[in-house]
Structure 1
């Protein structure tokens, strides 16, 4: 073989090696992303969902049956306020959302129309909201590591944190990724509280009308294979827990034993969504089984069972 041909072959081999290395690197990165996003766990759960009986599906929320009904409705004038959570009020059949950057509560219709705004004076970074009984609302402040139970009625125009009882939640493992999720579980007479990262669950007993009883207790759970925990909701019919993760773009259903039951992706083209929910920060369910999600910057979504 001529010397020129030998030289050409030597030049080609590194080229192919570089492609082989790039392909291997891409495979490793893809595998890492799949593990980080828990796509492997979602695939296992998706397969398990296929074998659930009709009766089992009827006894649960069964998220795969939901389709978006109101898709990315803008909440006017709130784009800079960082929508943080959402809770259904069965007495008024309205929703209460909390804004974290410029603290205030906003009351919404079930169609996402604004009824009123209630300034929150003295809160640093309210991230979670849960409607209890008798006009009481629990608000979690991530920066202050506490929750405050306030009273809201039709005449309430503002709320001052110092006027209401505060409950210390303690320090978090990651100071800036602390307690930010809360939901009222009327069936078990307790609040369920979520820590963002690493995702953890706690409970605090209350009848929803009087003071909280005892202290915050850990709720053992090894099924929170999520990148973070953004919000919580409780299905008042089944008692199942809904866990929202903004980073995983996922809504997960857990049963009373903490086992995964179903999930939906919050990415575009899934469950009727035109595009990905940018950063889902709040979730709630009404007494008819409809789902509501609020996302930063200030987007409103409603899902109904098909």
Structure 2
């Protein structure tokens, strides 16, 4: 490991990413009642692009070189922004509760490991153990949310399709980025990815008939979506994928529901039960095993 890789900031990146990414469901809780999903996401992508362009111009960072690199960035943008976020928001809007949607998307580490094993990648026995522990912990953490979303909190073929589509999109995007993308500046890379996501999402937003209502809650949700989740969280995810093994990075997603539960407890007073604490401990142990096993090889 180099001196740069051992810096406190680099070591803190996974924890900061999990903390930021965990606020996604909080943002949905604030913003979803006031906007249709694709319209909200189209605004989010457009405003994020504007922020990145200003940042790029101020910092004078180079753009990616070569058409192939731009093409690879566009593919990952469609998968990891339009596909993943669009699928999750559409599933929740179609009546799926946060617990079930978290559980389905939380299958990403397992799906990533299965793909790596099937294609000759190395996933050790210790990592499989960590993935299994993490998933059991995830089930415990989100179990109290099943059926807690009201009369509309049901699984239907439509919202299940949206959620599974989101799972497949972020898994494919993570694997694709790790395999095909050469390292480049995270700000220009994210801008290209977001532009591709906007190109896919905008036509879908035009088909939505529900208007977007701007108020304090929707504006606050949009501001954090742009500044925190996209400029912060998505940039960190890009850097983590570039620096780490796919299985280890994906395992961090197991920590998102426990962290979300803690934030919901602080903001909304949602109870944290003994089952939640036990699930959090199992999840943390599972992720620690996966990450440590990946570094020791």
User: Which TM-score bucket, shorter chain as reference?
Assistant: under 0.3
Answer 1 or 2: which has greater helix percent: 2
In our comparison, the structure showing a higher alpha carbon Rg is 1
| TM-score, length of structure 1 as denominator length | 0.23
| TM-score, length of structure 2 as denominator length | 0.24
Answer 1 or 2: which has greater strand percent: 1
Which fold has the larger relative contact order, with Cα–Cα distance below 8 Å and residues 6 or more apart in sequence?
2
